[in-house]
């Protein structure tokens, strides 16, 4: 007996059990194919993408001794606080040039801290991640905590910035402010297409992290 046939039998059985005589409609629905299931899941549980950055100081201080991008203590905190749902993660290590950092933070151009921010972001490698899940933008922002680590320690002591930030400039992590900003940032850092990254990067770069 095929799996599809078994699923159909189960649905038919449940429909018989829960049928309402006065209602000429099925009380249960099941996707007819994997493709249809994927479309329906996307409709009812839409996922978002957000761009997350582990900044140079955090990479340097928490980098594993035997792995180019292993950041044990920060990742343990990330896994312990990421909630009951999985993040699908695509990431790579990048050295921002001065020009790249200037373009990446263009929205802050003209602000008093802009030059310091650009210089800081181009002083060493960062880990750039695309995080994918429902409500990814807001949940990553909550996990990061307030921009100022002093505020984060008081209001969100379990946040990444409360635990790993040095000061308001070297505040460990970055996240997109909204969905549009996320898509623009992803396109800028990763290019228009993500095809090939899973084969270019080592397998450890592409993973699903989930709270145990």
How many Cβ atoms from other residues are within 10 Å of residue 117's Cβ?
Answer: 18
Out of 29, 66, 98, 174, which one is annotated catalytic? 174
Residue 80 annotated as binding site: no
93 forms bridges with which residues in the sheet? Answer: 127
The answer to whether residues 204 and 121 belong to one domain is yes
Listed as own residue / partner, the contacts of 8-17 with beta carbons closer than 8 Å and 24 or more positions apart are: none
φ/ψ (deg, to 5) at 100: -65, -45
CA dihedral angle for residue 113, residue 149, residue 207, residue 37, rounded to 10 degrees:
-90
State whether 97 and 192 are in the same domain: yes
Q: 15 and 92, same structural domain?
A: no
Is 92 known to sit in a ligand binding site? no
Cβ 208 vs Cβ 89: under 8 Å: yes
Q: What pLDDT score was predicted for residue 196?
A: 42
CA distance 169 to 95: 18
Q: What integer pLDDT is reported at residue 134 of this predicted model?
A: 86
CATH number of 98's domain: 3.30.70.141
Binding site annotation covers 190?
A: no
Phi-psi label, residue 140: left if phi above 0, alpha if psi -120 to 50, beta otherwise: alpha
> 16-38, pLDDT tens digit by residue?
666 666 655 666 677 778 888 77
User: Confidence class of residue 133 from pLDDT cuts 50, 70 and 90?
Assistant: confident
pLDDT for 38-70, tens place per residue?
777 777 777 889 999 999 998 888 765 434 444
Residue 170: which pLDDT band, with cuts at 50, 70 and 90?
very high
Q: Which of 146, 142, 111, 131 is nearest to 53 (CA)?
A: 131
- Place 144 in a pLDDT band, splitting at 50, 70 and 90: very high
pLDDT in tens, 172-210: 999 999 999 999 999 898 876 554 444 333 333 334 333
Distances (CA, A) of 131 to 31, 37, 140, 207: 27, 22, 8, 10
Q: What is the pTM of this model?
A: 0.71
9 and 84, same domain (yes or no): no
pLDDT at 30: 72
141 is in an annotated binding site: yes
**Is residue 62 among the annotated active site residues?**
no
Indicate whether 106 and 131 sit together in one domain. Answer: yes
Statement: residue 13 has pLDDT above 70: no
Whether residues 25 and 67 share a domain: the answer is no
Q: What is the DSSP letter of 174?
A: E
Q: Is-contact 63 93, C-beta < 8 A?
A: no
pLDDT at 210: 35
pLDDT top residue among 82 and 11: 82
Q: 77 and 133 in one domain?
A: yes
- Residue 6: the pLDDT is 44
Shared-domain flag, residues 164 and 64: yes
Provide the edge-to-edge strand list for the sheet that holds 48-54.
173-175, 48-54, 125-133, 87-95, 206-209
- Based on the domain organization, do 16 and 85 belong to the same domain? no
| Same domain assignment for residues 39 and 90 | no
- Identify the three-state secondary structure at position 192: coil
Averaged confidence pLDDT in the chain: 77
Range of the domain at 132: 48-209
Q: Is 15 annotated as a binding residue?
A: no
How many Cβ atoms from other residues are within 10 Å of residue 94's Cβ?
14
Q: How many domains does the chain fold into?
A: 2
| 171 annotated to a ligand binding site | yes
Q: Are residues 192 and 155 in the same domain?
A: yes
Q: What is the pLDDT of residue 114?
A: 96
Are 13 and 99 members of one domain? no
Which pLDDT score is estimated for 211? 35
User: What span, in angstroms and rounded, lies between the C-alpha atoms of 49 and 130?
Assistant: 6
């Amino acid at each position: 007996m095929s799996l599809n046939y078994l699923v159909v039998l189960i649905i038919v059985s449940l429909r018989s059990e829960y049928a309402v005589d006065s209602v000429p409609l099925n009380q249960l629905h099941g996707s007819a194919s994997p493709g249809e299931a994927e479309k329906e899941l996307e409709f009812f549980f839409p996922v978002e993408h957000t761009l997350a950055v582990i900044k140079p100081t955090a990479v340097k201080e928490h980098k594993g001794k035997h792995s180019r991008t292993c950041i044990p203590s920060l990742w343990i905190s990330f896994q312990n606080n990421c909630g009951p749902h999985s993040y699908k993660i695509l990431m790579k290590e990048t050295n921002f040039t001065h020009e790249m950092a200037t373009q990446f933070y263009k929205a802050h151009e003209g602000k008093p801290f802009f030059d310091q921010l650009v210089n800081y972001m181009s002083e060493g490698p960062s880990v750039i991640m695309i995080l994918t899940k429902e409500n990814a933008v807001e949940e990553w922002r909550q996990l990061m905590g307030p921009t100022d680590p002093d505020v984060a320690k008081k209001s969100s002591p379990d946040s990444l910035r409360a635990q790993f930030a040095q000061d308001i400039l070297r505040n460990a992590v970055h996240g997109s402010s909204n969905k549009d900003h996320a898509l623009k940032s992803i396109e800028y850092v990763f290019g228009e297409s993500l095809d090939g990254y899973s084969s270019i990067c080592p397998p450890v770069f592409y993973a699903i992290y989930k709270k145990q």
